[in-house]
Amino acid sequence: MKVVNSLKSLKKRDRNCRVIRRKGRVYVINKKNPRMKARQG
């Protein structure tokens, strides 16, 4: 999992990426490619 400043750029890497808010944090998760994960905040 990567911790990044901007999740917008990570979302563009793959079209299956979804941006999700949980407990005040912002996550990028990808069901098709589970290695594409990121967290912000």
Q: Are 3 and 39 in contact (CB under 8 A)?
A: yes
In this prediction, residue 39 carries a pLDDT of 86
The residue with tokens 């905040």 is: 41
Domain that holds residue 17: 2-40
Closest CA to 29 of 40, 41, 16: 16
- pTM for the whole structure: 0.69
How many domains, the chain? 1
Question: How confident is the model over 1-41, as pLDDT tens digits?
Answer: 777 777 777 777 778 888 889 998 888 888 888 888 888 87
